[in-house]
Amino acid sequence: MAIATYIEKHREREVYTERSDHAIGTAWKNREGWWDHQLGEHFIFSHRTTAYTRETFTDTLHMHPYYELVIYLRGDVRYIVGDRMVTPAPGDILLCRPGALHTANLLRASVYDRVVLYFPAVSALPGWDSALLPAAEEGFCFTLRESERRNELLSMVGELESALTRDRTETPTVCYSLLLRLLLLLHREMIPADAAEHLPEAIRQIKEYIDENYTTLGGVEEIAAHFFYSREYLSRLFRRTLNTTVSDYLLDKKLTHSKKLLETGASVTDACFSSGFHNMSSFIRNFRDYAGVLPSVYRKRFHE
Protein backbone atom coordinates (compact mmCIF):
# COMPACT_ATOMS: atom_id res chain seq x y z
CA MET A 1 0.00 0.00 0.00
CA ALA A 2 2.77 2.47 0.96
CA ILE A 3 4.71 1.87 -2.28
CA ALA A 4 1.53 2.19 -4.36
CA THR A 5 0.87 5.53 -2.65
CA TYR A 6 4.42 6.67 -3.49
CA ILE A 7 3.84 5.91 -7.18
CA GLU A 8 0.40 7.52 -7.23
CA LYS A 9 1.63 10.70 -5.55
CA HIS A 10 4.46 11.05 -8.08
CA ARG A 11 2.01 10.54 -10.94
CA GLU A 12 -0.40 13.16 -9.59
CA ARG A 13 2.43 15.67 -9.27
CA GLU A 14 3.67 14.84 -12.78
CA VAL A 15 7.07 13.78 -11.48
CA TYR A 16 6.94 10.89 -13.97
CA THR A 17 7.21 11.61 -17.68
CA GLU A 18 7.07 8.09 -19.13
CA ARG A 19 5.77 4.61 -18.26
CA SER A 20 7.04 1.20 -19.39
CA ASP A 21 5.36 -2.10 -18.46
CA HIS A 22 7.50 -5.21 -18.20
CA ALA A 23 7.40 -8.77 -16.88
CA ILE A 24 7.95 -7.97 -13.21
CA GLY A 25 6.01 -4.70 -12.93
CA THR A 26 6.08 -1.14 -14.22
CA ALA A 27 8.97 1.28 -14.70
CA TRP A 28 8.38 5.00 -14.31
CA LYS A 29 10.78 7.60 -15.74
CA ASN A 30 11.45 10.48 -13.37
CA ARG A 31 11.64 13.94 -14.92
CA GLU A 32 15.25 14.12 -13.67
CA GLY A 33 16.16 11.19 -15.91
CA TRP A 34 16.22 8.00 -13.83
CA TRP A 35 13.75 5.08 -13.84
CA ASP A 36 11.86 3.85 -10.79
CA HIS A 37 11.37 0.12 -11.32
CA GLN A 38 8.36 -1.22 -9.44
CA LEU A 39 9.07 -4.83 -8.47
CA GLY A 40 5.63 -6.31 -7.96
CA GLU A 41 3.57 -4.37 -5.42
CA HIS A 42 6.09 -3.88 -2.66
CA PHE A 43 9.53 -2.81 -3.93
CA ILE A 44 11.01 0.07 -5.91
CA PHE A 45 14.54 -0.10 -7.32
CA SER A 46 16.29 2.76 -9.07
CA HIS A 47 19.80 3.80 -10.05
CA ARG A 48 19.94 7.58 -9.95
CA THR A 49 22.80 9.55 -11.49
CA THR A 50 22.26 13.30 -11.60
CA ALA A 51 24.50 16.34 -12.03
CA TYR A 52 23.38 18.88 -9.43
CA THR A 53 24.18 22.41 -8.38
CA ARG A 54 22.99 23.94 -5.12
CA GLU A 55 20.25 25.68 -7.11
CA THR A 56 18.95 22.55 -8.86
CA PHE A 57 19.17 20.12 -5.94
CA THR A 58 15.59 19.32 -4.92
CA ASP A 59 15.76 16.95 -1.94
CA THR A 60 14.06 18.31 1.19
CA LEU A 61 13.49 17.08 4.72
CA HIS A 62 10.82 14.36 4.58
CA MET A 63 9.64 11.05 6.01
CA HIS A 64 7.70 8.03 4.72
CA PRO A 65 6.18 4.78 6.05
CA TYR A 66 8.65 2.43 4.32
CA TYR A 67 12.37 1.67 4.37
CA GLU A 68 14.74 3.58 2.12
CA LEU A 69 18.09 1.91 1.49
CA VAL A 70 20.69 3.92 -0.39
CA ILE A 71 23.95 2.53 -1.77
CA TYR A 72 26.05 5.67 -2.13
CA LEU A 73 28.41 5.61 -5.13
CA ARG A 74 29.74 9.15 -5.62
CA GLY A 75 28.95 12.83 -5.21
CA ASP A 76 29.51 15.50 -2.61
CA VAL A 77 26.60 15.09 -0.23
CA ARG A 78 25.83 14.80 3.44
CA TYR A 79 22.95 12.73 4.80
CA ILE A 80 20.82 13.89 7.70
CA VAL A 81 18.56 11.48 9.60
CA GLY A 82 16.83 12.77 12.72
CA ASP A 83 19.36 14.92 14.58
CA ARG A 84 22.43 13.17 13.16
CA MET A 85 24.39 13.77 9.95
CA VAL A 86 27.15 11.95 8.11
CA THR A 87 29.25 12.42 4.97
CA PRO A 88 29.46 8.92 3.45
CA ALA A 89 32.30 7.26 1.55
CA PRO A 90 31.68 5.60 -1.84
CA GLY A 91 30.13 2.19 -1.24
CA ASP A 92 28.59 3.11 2.11
CA ILE A 93 24.99 2.08 2.75
CA LEU A 94 22.43 4.47 4.23
CA LEU A 95 19.41 2.93 5.92
CA CYS A 96 16.47 5.19 6.62
CA ARG A 97 13.76 3.49 8.67
CA PRO A 98 10.00 4.10 8.36
CA GLY A 99 8.95 7.37 9.98
CA ALA A 100 12.48 8.79 10.26
CA LEU A 101 12.87 12.40 9.14
CA HIS A 102 15.72 12.62 6.63
CA THR A 103 17.29 14.42 3.67
CA ALA A 104 20.44 14.56 1.59
CA ASN A 105 22.33 17.85 1.59
CA LEU A 106 24.42 18.77 -1.47
CA LEU A 107 27.66 20.32 -0.23
CA ARG A 108 28.84 21.56 -3.62
CA ALA A 109 28.07 21.03 -7.32
CA SER A 110 28.73 17.40 -8.25
CA VAL A 111 27.40 14.28 -9.95
CA TYR A 112 25.30 12.49 -7.32
CA ASP A 113 25.24 8.75 -8.07
CA ARG A 114 23.33 6.31 -5.86
CA VAL A 115 21.22 3.16 -5.94
CA VAL A 116 17.91 3.44 -4.08
CA LEU A 117 15.64 0.68 -2.83
CA TYR A 118 12.25 1.25 -1.18
CA PHE A 119 10.44 -1.58 0.59
CA PRO A 120 7.77 -1.94 3.31
CA ALA A 121 8.25 -2.30 7.03
CA VAL A 122 6.51 -5.68 7.02
CA SER A 123 7.93 -8.70 5.19
CA ALA A 124 6.79 -8.75 1.57
CA LEU A 125 9.36 -11.09 0.01
CA PRO A 126 9.39 -14.82 0.81
CA GLY A 127 12.50 -15.63 2.80
CA TRP A 128 13.13 -12.07 3.92
CA ASP A 129 12.14 -10.22 7.09
CA SER A 130 12.87 -6.56 7.81
CA ALA A 131 13.79 -7.59 11.36
CA LEU A 132 17.09 -8.82 9.83
CA LEU A 133 18.10 -5.20 9.28
CA PRO A 134 20.19 -3.40 11.92
CA ALA A 135 18.36 -1.90 14.89
CA ALA A 136 17.94 1.86 15.09
CA GLU A 137 20.50 2.01 17.90
CA GLU A 138 23.18 0.92 15.43
CA GLY A 139 22.85 4.11 13.41
CA PHE A 140 21.97 4.69 9.78
CA CYS A 141 25.29 4.68 7.90
CA PHE A 142 26.94 1.30 7.29
CA THR A 143 29.81 -0.22 5.36
CA LEU A 144 30.71 -3.79 4.43
CA ARG A 145 33.30 -5.83 6.30
CA GLU A 146 35.59 -6.44 3.31
CA SER A 147 36.22 -4.83 -0.09
CA GLU A 148 35.39 -8.15 -1.77
CA ARG A 149 31.90 -7.94 -0.31
CA ARG A 150 31.52 -4.43 -1.69
CA ASN A 151 32.41 -5.71 -5.16
CA GLU A 152 29.91 -8.53 -4.69
CA LEU A 153 27.19 -6.05 -3.72
CA LEU A 154 27.86 -3.82 -6.73
CA SER A 155 27.88 -6.87 -9.00
CA MET A 156 24.44 -7.90 -7.73
CA VAL A 157 23.15 -4.36 -8.26
CA GLY A 158 24.42 -4.42 -11.85
CA GLU A 159 22.84 -7.83 -12.49
CA LEU A 160 19.51 -6.68 -11.06
CA GLU A 161 19.57 -3.48 -13.09
CA SER A 162 20.31 -5.49 -16.25
CA ALA A 163 17.66 -8.14 -15.50
CA LEU A 164 14.97 -5.47 -15.12
CA THR A 165 15.43 -4.46 -18.76
CA ARG A 166 14.85 -8.01 -20.06
CA ASP A 167 11.17 -8.77 -20.58
CA ARG A 168 11.31 -12.56 -20.34
CA THR A 169 9.33 -15.26 -18.58
CA GLU A 170 12.08 -15.84 -16.03
CA THR A 171 12.59 -12.11 -15.27
CA PRO A 172 10.51 -12.03 -12.04
CA THR A 173 12.30 -15.11 -10.65
CA VAL A 174 15.74 -13.71 -11.52
CA CYS A 175 14.98 -10.27 -10.09
CA TYR A 176 13.50 -11.50 -6.82
CA SER A 177 16.37 -13.97 -6.42
CA LEU A 178 18.92 -11.18 -6.86
CA LEU A 179 17.00 -8.91 -4.51
CA LEU A 180 16.88 -11.59 -1.82
CA ARG A 181 20.62 -12.30 -2.23
CA LEU A 182 21.38 -8.59 -1.99
CA LEU A 183 19.37 -8.15 1.22
CA LEU A 184 20.89 -11.27 2.73
CA LEU A 185 24.41 -10.02 1.96
CA LEU A 186 23.62 -6.75 3.73
CA HIS A 187 22.24 -8.63 6.73
CA ARG A 188 25.41 -10.70 7.05
CA GLU A 189 28.10 -8.18 6.17
CA MET A 190 26.91 -4.66 7.11
CA ILE A 191 28.68 -3.02 10.02
CA PRO A 192 28.35 0.57 11.30
CA ALA A 193 30.53 3.11 9.49
CA ASP A 194 32.16 6.06 11.23
CA ALA A 195 29.93 7.64 13.86
CA ALA A 196 27.58 10.32 12.60
CA GLU A 197 27.85 13.86 13.95
CA HIS A 198 25.09 15.76 15.70
CA LEU A 199 23.34 18.61 13.94
CA PRO A 200 24.72 22.06 14.80
CA GLU A 201 23.41 23.04 18.23
CA ALA A 202 21.42 26.05 16.99
CA ILE A 203 19.63 23.93 14.36
CA ARG A 204 18.97 21.16 16.86
CA GLN A 205 17.39 23.60 19.34
CA ILE A 206 15.16 25.19 16.69
CA LYS A 207 14.05 21.82 15.37
CA GLU A 208 13.39 20.50 18.89
CA TYR A 209 11.35 23.61 19.76
CA ILE A 210 9.16 23.13 16.68
CA ASP A 211 8.81 19.38 17.32
CA GLU A 212 7.56 20.03 20.85
CA ASN A 213 5.27 23.01 20.10
CA TYR A 214 4.07 22.79 16.49
CA THR A 215 0.38 22.44 17.41
CA THR A 216 0.43 25.83 19.15
CA LEU A 217 2.96 27.75 17.03
CA GLY A 218 1.46 30.33 14.70
CA GLY A 219 4.34 31.00 12.34
CA VAL A 220 8.01 31.77 11.71
CA GLU A 221 7.93 35.13 13.48
CA GLU A 222 6.94 33.45 16.73
CA ILE A 223 9.81 30.96 16.45
CA ALA A 224 12.32 33.69 15.51
CA ALA A 225 11.24 35.79 18.50
CA HIS A 226 11.72 32.84 20.86
CA PHE A 227 15.38 32.53 19.80
CA PHE A 228 15.94 36.31 19.42
CA TYR A 229 16.72 35.91 15.70
CA SER A 230 15.41 37.88 12.78
CA ARG A 231 13.04 35.94 10.54
CA GLU A 232 15.52 36.18 7.66
CA TYR A 233 18.48 34.89 9.70
CA LEU A 234 16.44 32.03 11.16
CA SER A 235 15.21 30.93 7.73
CA ARG A 236 18.68 31.13 6.17
CA LEU A 237 20.26 29.16 9.02
CA PHE A 238 17.63 26.42 8.90
CA ARG A 239 17.55 26.05 5.13
CA ARG A 240 21.34 25.90 4.74
CA THR A 241 21.48 22.72 6.83
CA LEU A 242 18.13 20.99 6.31
CA ASN A 243 17.17 21.94 2.73
CA THR A 244 13.81 23.26 3.85
CA THR A 245 12.38 26.47 5.24
CA VAL A 246 11.21 26.87 8.82
CA SER A 247 7.67 27.56 7.59
CA ASP A 248 7.64 24.42 5.44
CA TYR A 249 8.99 22.31 8.29
CA LEU A 250 6.35 23.67 10.69
CA LEU A 251 3.61 23.05 8.12
CA ASP A 252 4.87 19.51 7.50
CA LYS A 253 4.74 18.73 11.23
CA LYS A 254 1.14 19.96 11.45
CA LEU A 255 0.05 18.01 8.35
CA THR A 256 1.78 14.80 9.46
CA HIS A 257 -0.03 15.07 12.79
CA SER A 258 -3.37 15.68 11.06
CA LYS A 259 -2.87 12.54 8.93
CA LYS A 260 -2.34 10.43 12.03
CA LEU A 261 -5.50 11.87 13.61
CA LEU A 262 -7.57 11.13 10.49
CA GLU A 263 -6.20 7.59 10.37
CA THR A 264 -7.35 6.99 13.94
CA GLY A 265 -10.89 8.26 13.28
CA ALA A 266 -10.78 11.96 14.18
CA SER A 267 -13.15 14.20 12.26
CA VAL A 268 -11.75 16.61 9.68
CA THR A 269 -12.59 19.50 12.01
CA ASP A 270 -10.76 17.93 14.96
CA ALA A 271 -7.77 17.05 12.77
CA CYS A 272 -7.61 20.63 11.57
CA PHE A 273 -7.68 22.46 14.88
CA SER A 274 -5.85 19.81 16.95
CA SER A 275 -2.91 20.05 14.54
CA GLY A 276 -2.53 23.79 15.00
CA PHE A 277 -4.45 25.17 12.01
CA HIS A 278 -6.73 28.13 12.66
CA ASN A 279 -8.54 28.12 9.34
CA MET A 280 -10.40 25.17 7.79
CA SER A 281 -9.98 26.30 4.19
CA SER A 282 -6.22 26.71 4.70
CA PHE A 283 -6.04 23.22 6.24
CA ILE A 284 -7.97 21.60 3.39
CA ARG A 285 -5.87 23.35 0.72
CA ASN A 286 -2.56 22.44 2.34
CA PHE A 287 -3.63 18.87 3.11
CA ARG A 288 -4.67 18.29 -0.51
CA ASP A 289 -1.29 19.56 -1.73
CA TYR A 290 0.49 17.36 0.83
CA ALA A 291 -1.47 14.10 0.55
CA GLY A 292 -2.90 14.41 -2.95
CA VAL A 293 -6.51 14.08 -1.73
CA LEU A 294 -8.96 15.99 0.45
CA PRO A 295 -8.79 15.18 4.17
CA SER A 296 -12.30 13.71 4.05
CA VAL A 297 -11.24 11.32 1.28
CA TYR A 298 -8.08 10.39 3.16
CA ARG A 299 -10.11 9.62 6.29
CA LYS A 300 -12.45 7.30 4.35
CA ARG A 301 -9.49 5.12 3.36
CA PHE A 302 -9.28 4.04 6.99
CA HIS A 303 -12.88 4.41 8.11
CA GLU A 304 -15.41 3.44 5.48
User: pLDDT (tens digit, 9 = 90+) per residue, 193-231?
Assistant: 977 888 899 999 999 999 999 999 989 999 999 999 999
Alpha helices in the chain (DSSP H): 2-12, 147-163, 171-189, 201-213, 220-227, 231-242, 246-263, 268-274, 280-291, 295-302
Domain ranges for the chain: 2-197, 200-302
Residues of the chain with pLDDT under 70: 1, 304
Mean pLDDT of all residues belonging to the chain: 90
- Tens digits of per-residue pLDDT, 153-178? 999 999 999 999 888 888 899 999 99
User: Tell me, what amino acid is at 129?
Assistant: D
User: Model pTM?
Assistant: 0.84
**207 burial type by CB count under 10 A (0-12 exposed, 13-18 middle, 19+ buried):** buried
Contact 207, 199 (CB under 8 A): yes
CA angle 242, 243, 246 (to 5 degrees): 70
What is the fold of 2-197?
Jelly Rolls (2.60.120)
Q: How far apart are CA 281 and CA 284, in angstroms?
A: 5
CA distances from 228 to 102, 178, 222, 231 (A): 27, 54, 10, 9
| CATH top-level class of 200-302 | mainly alpha
Non-local (6+) Cβ contacts of 208 within 8 A are 83
Contact 39, 117 (CB under 8 A): no
Contact 32, 50 (CB under 8 A): yes
